[in-house]
Amino acid sequence: MREILGRRRGLRFRRSGRHAQLDAALTCATGWQWPVVPGVGHIASAGRERGCGCPDPECVVPGAHPFDPGLLAATTDARMVRWWWTGRPDAPVIMATGGRAPCALSLPAVAGARALVALDRMGMRLGPVVASPTRWSLLVAPYSLERLGELLHAKDWVPSSLRFHGEGGYLVLPPSETGKGPVWWERAPAPGVRPVPDAGGSAGARGTGAPWLPDVEAVLDALVEASTGAPGGGSKLAY
């Protein structure tokens, strides 16, 4: 139990007395059934960026990753979520992607902002979009690695900076604060019901309050189209 709940020795976290992260974590876990785990958090640093609370002095994602407990501890259990964020109220909210939880596609921040403009012009319906000073992430319905591989294999080219957050991955959710800065909803989650086939082949529904999520194929196709149609052969999106 000690390892699952998380050992806090050797880590330092800011404490502000606010409950925004706890509320967000509970909404994700109990309202939307998205498994979450607290991020490692960041610490004061002499440089422009704040350091990471993990032992790695060269951490490239300061405060923006799970550490103790690890990602495998991500849960939808309200009791555990309250225990974690009561002890660490400013810990970032980390969602384990894949499985029954959303997956995501992400781009560097400037490219992501331009991509959203292009997708809006195309009339593409988007789901929640998570933004940070470094990357923007478009949430999509869960997909398997096999399906992603098939989709990518069918493409002649995709933006080189496009990343995929699927099974075994994670994403930092608002209103977290990391060493790179704040994380916010560029497009807030909109409640909706996504039809899914049941065992008999008829359409059912996944949850009544979980945000609507687009299919990964539609988003990937739209991103590739927006990128290839951009001036310079997509260079505005591919960095």
What tens digit of pLDDT does each residue of 40-55 get? 988 876 555 678 888 8
Burial profile 161-200: b = 16 or more Cβ within 10 angstroms, e = fewer: ebebbbeeebbbbbebbbbbeebeebbebeeeebeeeeee
CB 66 within 8 A of CB 19: no
- Whether 234 maps to a domain, the answer reads no
CB 109 within 8 A of CB 237: no
Q: Taking residues 151-155, what's their average pLDDT? A: 91
CB 176 within 8 A of CB 21: yes
What whole-number distance in Å separates Cα of residue 100 and Cα of residue 141? Answer: 9
**SS3 breakdown of the chain: % helix, strand, coil, rounded to 5?**
25, 20, 50
In the predicted structure, residue 93 carries a pLDDT above the cut 50: yes
Per DSSP, the residues of 66-100 read --SS-GGG-B--HHHHHHHHHH-TT--EEEEPSTT
User: Which of residues 238 and 133 earns the better pLDDT score?
Assistant: 133
- Whether 154 maps to a domain, the answer reads yes
Model pLDDT, residue 237: 55
In the predicted structure, residue 35 carries a pLDDT above the cut 90: yes
Model pLDDT, residue 74: 97
Model pLDDT, residue 203: 40
In the predicted structure, residue 232 carries a pLDDT above the cut 50: no
- Whether 37 maps to a domain, the answer reads yes
- Whether 235 maps to a domain, the answer reads no
Query: pLDDT, tens digit, for every residue of 108-152?
Result: 998 889 889 989 998 999 999 999 999 999 999 999 999 999 999
Confidence of residue 80 (pLDDT cuts 50, 70, 90): very high
Least confident of 29-38, 70-79, 206-215: 206-215
Model pLDDT, residue 9: 33
Residue 211 DSSP label: B
Confidence of residue 29 (pLDDT cuts 50, 70, 90): very high
User: Which of residues 130 and 226 earns the better pLDDT score?
Assistant: 130
Model pLDDT, residue 57: 86
Q: Taking residues 50-66, what's their average pLDDT? A: 86
Model pLDDT, residue 196: 47
- Whether 215 maps to a domain, the answer reads yes
- Whether 233 maps to a domain, the answer reads no
Tally the domains of the chain. 1
In the predicted structure, residue 16 carries a pLDDT above the cut 50: no
The pTM for the full model equals 0.80
Its domain, for residue 56, covers 2-228
* Segment of 17-21, 151-155, 198-202, 220-224 carrying the highest mean pLDDT: 151-155
- Whether 46 maps to a domain, the answer reads yes
- Whether 239 maps to a domain, the answer reads no
Helix, strand, or coil here: 141?
coil
